[in-house]
Amino acid sequence: MARLTFAEAARRALAEEMRRDPLVWALGEDLQQGGIFGQYKGLAEEFGPERIVSTPISESTIMGAGLGAALCGTRPVIEMRIADFALCAMDELVSQIAKVRYMFGGQGRASLVVRMPQGIWRNSAAQHSQCLEAWLTHIPGLVVAAPGTPADAAGMLKAAIRSDDPVVLLEPKNLWTTEGEVEDGTEPLPFGVARPAARGDGATVVTWSACVPVVEQAARDSGVACDVFDLRSLWPWDEAAVIGSARRTGRLLVVHEAVTVSGFGAEVVARVVEALGPGALHAVERLGAPRAPVPFSPVLEAAMRMTPERVAAAIRRIAG
């Protein structure tokens, strides 16, 4: 067991997978310089420029090259630098990568990982702070994972690399420097299995990604003993665990960094209500960002962020 930052846990996991399987390689902007968050630091020295590939600034080319390489039998790790930049490569991701296995009857598979660091990160403004998770979960053919701890960053990256389906890994920019305990030789984490972070009968609270430490702190501060679930993956997601908890508590709160309108929290609430039926829940609430661009101003940006105080107040409201 070691105490590692989110970035170092992911870096170590990628290195271990590259040592395990010579078909694993990575491509993206500035990877040979270590990547924007240091998550590739030192890998070029160990694996060389043929497996840690720094590319031109052309997201569609990066995504398309990764797809072609996957169809030829390798397992590319495609680095999009930040999720916002992946918008330049959405045709390759949505129309090609997500559909190639279906359209060719399984004869070709896009066994690849697309890393998309997302969310707010130190005043990066409207074009560098978006959360695109709701878009991506809407696309058939994609697995979507959103780890919120260093240990899960390592375990989910390993699972993504070994998956025969394309996996979009949404890594929270705001957590790259946070630390946590990570086991030596981390095993891959299965998709669709939530992590129970707390236990109690007062409410069911669901979250993922950058909001995980915020919600864990809020649950402690709220004075309400509640079930807290870190979903870890958004498609598939652990419906059984959340529905079972909501059936017991009768109260459901979903917290995410993304805009509330049409956010993935709406999917969670809808599935729970459909499963339990009308009147089964005494209180339901979604907590997320307003439908507004993320401002550059530190003061205005702070108003967009989830905080332990806001979440604790919401827990007390629904537990009422």
* Positions marked catalytic: 128
* Count of CA atoms in the C-beta half-sphere (13 A) of 8: 12
Tokens representing 91 are 């045709």
Residue 25, strand partner residues: 76
Cα–Cα nearest to 134, from 125, 142, 124, 126: 142
CA 130, CA 68: separation in Å to the nearest integer? 28
